[in-house]
Structure 1
Amino acid sequence: MAMANDGLFREARYFTPWQKPKQYEEFLLPTELQEVTRQRHIKFGDCVLQANDTSIASEMCEELFTPDCPSIHLGLDGVEIICNSSASHWELRKLSRRLELIKESSKKGGSIYLYSNQQGCDGSGREYYDGCALIIVNGEIKAQASQFSLNDVEVISATVDLDDVGTARVYKARSMQASREQAYPRVELDSVLTDQNPLPARQISPTRDAVIVTPQEEISLGAGCGTIFGAAARVRGVFLPLSGGVDSAATAVIFYSAVRLVFAACEAGNQQVIKDMRRVCGEKENSEWLPADPRELSNVIFHTCYMGTSNSSRETRARAKALANDIGCYHIDLNMDAIASAFTSLFTSLFPQKKIRFKSAGGSNQENLALQNIQSRSRMVLSYLLASTLTWVRDRRDGGNLLVLGSANVDECLRDSEVGAISKKDLAGFLRYAKTEFDLPIIESFLEATPTAELEPITDKYVQSDEQDMGCTYDELGTFGTLRKIDRLGPYSMWQTLCTQWTHLSPREVYKRTRFLWHYFGINRHKQEILTPALHACQYSPDSNRYDLLPFLRPPLTWAYNKIEKALAEHEKKQ
């Protein structure tokens, strides 16, 4: 009756919600089904299943998140068991909200709530569904499934006392509201679901605390599971350009976390995971090979490459090599100056009177940007060349392609990058966690380093910096993304809010920052329309394909800017 039709989901494309609350229609069954069921009609609609000893009903995924959720009205009409079959995608810090909604609904109305959730990836490659089935009685958790797992199916059970529901409902305010509740139609079920023995053989399941992992563990497990499901579907492993910076290091460690999950499932004897692992590794069907440790498995399916140029530093090259060694992946270290030189030589042959130069050598901004783009775009082409050939180079039995992983973060998407799902701040937190959890001390050097693309020459007076290139800090980008998408603020409202948050800046400086961010978001908006699918993990993702349907041809924001300037003039006049 309520459908997810914003954010990642467009359920109204395929379905029409039921528009008749507490009503049903009778459908005539096909002749074949009449013979099997011995009935002519079936009831279809908003009903309650009434057994001889209890009543059962359901609310669907999105209905749980609505203000007027069905479970409250079902409880007021006497329904004791409420089921929810859900497809709720993983998102950082989202499980707490799901738990709060279910516990509050069950506690407020008094009910047994059975919640199941899809686990694994859907066909789009963007969402990972994180499971975490629940059995909750009157707001208390009786059973909770794992949140992240490589199992295809996970079943939980609990023994509960139906009388506890009746006891929780005995208070005047609820009784008054229940007396006004219009009844749901019942579908009779001539069956008993409870144990009728006056002395039950099984003990009631105890209440347990909710298991909620930290955001750092969520990235490790959630992004790890999502990545491994994507890789296992169609390729023989993955390829990652490893630059020696935080973003590519985080991507590498996330996939290494996925490798560890697969190894643990193999050790536990999960036959489906073992079968899939051997297929991805190129093993024959009758193979009995199992990796001795995660690093051995990593070396078979995980490939990285440091694509250096004359602008690269020894430090980033060494960091990339050390991390690759620690996680056991197959690593290549190369110089690609010849590729960049080929492009500049071709340009010179076309325009002999022009010599293209970096800004540090006296070139213009256009020349400088063009020379940087040659390197970054060439790395992309080289990545796909290696991803298509490395299994052949390594004499893997059946060859096959590798999945190319990107490594930008969602904050950079807001500025001008092309892929991303996790904020820079969350990535750094994850790396600090992984440093200890995975015994990777080399990560500390990544965290201490200044983020840089290393696309310009390093001089005594200049070292390229990502934040300097972007014209803002990653913290500012994260704040902008949250206010723009989650809080739905335009330039004027955002400026007002930031004036109260960025108190170290004057209102006019805040205006300059706000206008700068909106300008670059607008001129790069078209890139979000053709994003390579990224695993969704953040609410302010600018991915237009599924999540952000704002117009990509952004009109000038003159009205908002004029309003800010008018307010600034009045403020400065008073000052």
Structure 2
Amino acid sequence: MTRKVRLSACCMNQWSLDFAGNLERILQSIRKAKEAGSRLRLGSELEICGYGCADHLLEPDTTTHSWEVVAEILQRSKDDLSDIIIVVGMPVFYKNTAYNCLIALLNGKIELIRPKMAMCDDDNYRESRWFVSWRKQRTLEQFLLPDVITDVNKQRFCPIGDGVIQMGDGVTVGFEICEELWTAKGSYLDMSLSGVDIILNASGSHHVLRKSNKRLNRLILGATEKNGGIYLFSNQRGCDGDRLYYDGSATIAQNGSIYAQGAQFELAETEVISATLDVERVDSYRNRIRSSRVESTRSESYPYVQIDFRVCLDELEALKTPLTEPLTITMPTVEEEIASGPPAWMWDYLRRSKQSGFFLPLSGGRDSAAVACMVSCMCRMVINALHSGDKQAYHDVNYLFGNSLDDAAIKRLTHDQLCGHILFTCYLGTQNSSKETKERAGALATQIGASHSSVLIDTAVSAVIKIFEIATGGRLPRFRVEGGEGRENLALQNIQARLRMVISYLFAQLSLWAKGRPGGLLVLGTANVDECLRGYLTKYDCSSADINPIGGICKGDLNGFLQYCLSKFGLDSLTGILDAPPTAELEPLQDGQLVQTDEADMGMTYEELGVFGRLRLPGSCGPYSMFIALLDKWGHKHSPHEIAAKVKHFFRCYAINRHKATVLTPAYHAEHYSPDDHRHDHRPFLYNVDWPWQFKRIDRTLELLEKSGLCTNATQS
């Protein structure tokens, strides 16, 4: 005997407060699920209003409009979208309290409102700022529906709370919302022990490098392997209007195996995955785990919401419908994640901001080269979507070309042609720039098809310095190599960097005007997460831009990404960029050769910076605890005194430059130690840079090590 069910999980590129667009994508996903023969469709968390509404969730309008969207869906579920359980996410007010909820709809009726039971308040999330978790476990109450719903279906009340739906054929369906899967005692544990057959998880889970393996293998597969059952995971996709990119990856699992897997990075507005599974296999799998069966006898029952609807296929339909076979899943490499996540985020930002392209100051160094390569990867993704028949991509690309392309021109369009149309790069050189970096910038721009130019900005630099000379009665600052002191040297470097920002915005606003084209360009930032953390950037220089695709990616991962582009796409111009030491090129050359390097200027390597960053956040280390941690980590190659000096130097630099985090360009969030102070890293920006108490505690530990004979001053190899 079999009890086959056909189920669908969805990923949609929702946009905060875009109720019309969000509704259309939801309806499209329901239609696709119906066409696939499914009788249950699961959407993502807060899909009606968009997950990233933030403080707009405090506004009554957001909930009001969400109910209006539900009314539209209910009307359709009575007509052309009937006979399928539709699960959507939205905010709900109950007893003057806001809850993050899933709502189950069927044939014009609301069957259940299920509030979220565990808020996410770490990393970039602040859910308790807007919602309260539902605390009444296994309890249902009556919810008075708003008039906009009653006007559609004459329904006045529906259950709200921690309940389970039981179908007419005996199949039971339970619910989780995102964080409940991640908590130590996930809701799925109690539900599976109580015999719930199908568990639905609607998520708003963002992309972080190396995160997908944990989410899929350790959580989703781990849950179903340990306890059995069918598990549907739906997740939002795309840029919702903020720094985060939600990376899709809808999943259908059963008994520790994956049966359907959606794309992690995709440009399609709507993706629906479906699978045909046998509920009987859940029963037999669970019954073999004897210890869990004993535990299940002590499990409290959930209140059931009875629905007169059969989710199982009828006998003849079941005979004609084969079961879905399990899949073998491969995880993307970090380089593949970088080649897909930030480019997809950039595409969403570009098309939704209605700008006409990007401007990038291309320096010939690794960071700006990585950003250029990301635009190239973005163009490849867009062309692939075009050639696969994606209507939204067709509309967006045609908009960028002034709606001047016909079908034949669209089909002929190549990724380098698209790149040349939307990416404008410029080498902004000075007398301190080398011939080699100029050549490297030009070579890379040519290879990816960018519209490139090269200018010298010394005239502007000299003009600004002249203004200062006049204002101070002839005081002329000099570089250190010319006999100037540190303040002069730094000021002369910052002038060059800040003028590049000013010129970049001028080019972004007028480059298309100069070509007789309408619109403007978004300025792309090029500061990586390590430099942002260290503060190794000039405030309001080229780090100040409209968006920064690499602001959450460390230098080491960017180097790996450039190597990937070199081998994957044959961009041999990257060879020279990778071979050259990173440098700001802001101090005078000596005999035409560079004497300034980033790592020498910073007083630490990029590798060390990454270690400092991860210990500071998410390791939650202050100066003393970081010193103790590094004694173990670096003790084989550095003495305690050297480690103490490195820790003190990092925290001095961090404190001196923390104020720069308040103006960091909105950056793609890819690393847990991002210093972005707007959403992620809520720490002060004014510190006592001497850290007198903390550094003294380090010194006391050094004295203890010296007295114990455990402290040497020589660096060990």
Q: TM-score range by the shorter chain?
A: over 0.9
Give the counterpart letter for 1:219 in structure 2.
I
Match of 2:562 in 1: 431
Q: 2: distance between equivalents of 1:499 and 1:80?
A: 51
* Alignment-derived partner of residue 498 in structure 1: 630
**In structure 1, what is the equivalent of residue 401 of structure 2?**
281
Cα deviation, residue 233, structure 1: 1.6
The question of whether the paired residues in 2 share the 8 Å contact of 1:120 and 1:226 is answered with yes
Please list the CA deviations of residues 486-529 of structure 1 after superposition, one character each: whole Å capped at 9, or x if unmatched.
21111111111112222211100100000110111112112212
Q: Distance in 2 between matches of 1:65 and 1:230?
A: 29
Q: Equivalents in 1 of 2:512, 2:146: separation in Å?
A: 54
Sequence identity (%): 42
Q: Which amino acid in the other structure matches residue 153 of structure 1?
A: T
Partner of 2:250: 133
Q: How does 1:186-335 map to 2 (within 5 A)?
A: 186-197=304-315, 200-234=319-353, 235-284=355-404, 289-290=409-410, 291-335=412-456
- Per-residue CA deviation, residues 67-86 of structure 1 (Å, 9 max, x unaligned), is 11101111111101001111
Q: Paired residue for 1:181, among 299, 316, 322?
A: 299
* Residue in 2 that maps onto 1:114: 232
* 1:459 matched residue in structure 2: 590
Question: In 2, Cα distance between the equivalents of 1:78 and 1:159?
Answer: 20
Letter in 1 for 2:241: G
Q: Is the 8 A contact 1:3 1:17 kept in 2?
A: yes
Residues 1:153 and 2:270 aligned together: yes
Look up the match of 1:470.
602
TM-fit CA distance, 1:28: 3.1
Number of aligned residue pairs: 572
Over 3 Å counting, the alpha-carbon distance change for 1:161 and 1:572 in structure 2 is: same
Structure 1 counterpart of 2:180: 63
Does the Cα contact within 8 Å between 2:192 and 2:227 map onto a contact in 1?
Answer: yes
Distance 2:260 2:305 in 1: 29
1:261-287 deviation digits (Å, cap 9, x = unpaired): 111111112121011011123334878
SS at match of 1:343: helix
Mapped partners of 2:147, 2:339: distance in 1: 53
Contact in 2 for aligned 1:530/1:545 (Cα 8 Å): no
Deviation per CA, 1:234-253: give whole Å up to 9, x if none: 21000000000000000000
Q: Distance in 2 between matches of 1:37 and 1:107?
A: 41
- The CA RMSD measured in Å over matched residues stands at 1.7
TM-score normalised to structure 1 length: 0.96
Select 2:702's aligned residue among 564, 568, 573: 568
Deviations 1:264-316 (A, max 9, x none): 11111212101101112333487864253111111110100000010000000
Do the aligned partners of residues 116 and 33 (structure 1) sit closer, same or farther apart at CA in structure 2, a change above 3 Å counting?
closer
**Uncovered stretches (5+) of structure 1, i.e. residues with no partner:** none
Please give the TM-score of this superposition, normalised by the length of structure 2. Answer: 0.78
Report the equivalent of 2:663.
530
Query: Which residue in 1 is equivalent to 2:222?
Result: 104
Return the letter of the residue paired with 2:562. L
What is aligned with 1:349?
A: 470
Q: Distance in 2 between matches of 1:528 and 1:181?
A: 50
2:272 match: secondary structure: coil
Distance 1:569 1:29 in 2: 69
Find the aligned partners of 2:349 and 2:671 in 1 and give their Cα distance. 18
Q: Is the 8 A contact 2:266 2:344 kept in 1?
A: yes
How many angstroms does 1:372 deviate by?
Answer: 0.4
2:530 paired with 1:411: yes
Distance 2:650 2:146 in 1: 61
**1:305 is paired with a residue of what secondary structure?**
strand
Question: Of Structure 1 and Structure 2, which has the larger fraction of its residues in strand?
Answer: 2
Q: Which amino acid aligns with 1:213?
A: P
The structural deviation recorded for 1:345 is 1.3
User: Do the aligned residues in 2 keep the contact of 1:281 with 1:301 (CA within 8 Å)?
Assistant: no
Report the counterpart of residue 450 of structure 1 in structure 2: 581
Q: 1:240 to 1:189 in 2, by over 3 A?
A: same
Contact kept in structure 2, 1:119 and 1:128, CA below 8 Å = yes
Q: Which amino acid aligns with 1:518?
A: F
Instruction: Return the alpha-carbon distance in structure 2 between the equivalents of residues 242 and 34 of structure 1.
Output: 58
Specify the SS of the correspondent of 2:624: helix
Contact 2:585 2:594 in 1 (8 A): no
Instruction: Give me the whole-angstrom Cα distance separating, in 1, the residues matched to 2:623 and 2:669.
Output: 26
Give the superposition deviation at 1:187: 0.4
How many angstroms apart in 1 are the aligned matches of 2:145 and 2:247? Answer: 37
Per the TM alignment, residue 351 of structure 1 is displaced from its structure 2 partner at its CA by 2.3
2:206 maps to which of 89, 105, 116 = 89
1:516 and 2:635 aligned: no
Cα 1:114–1:473, aligned 2, differ >3 Å: closer, same or farther? same
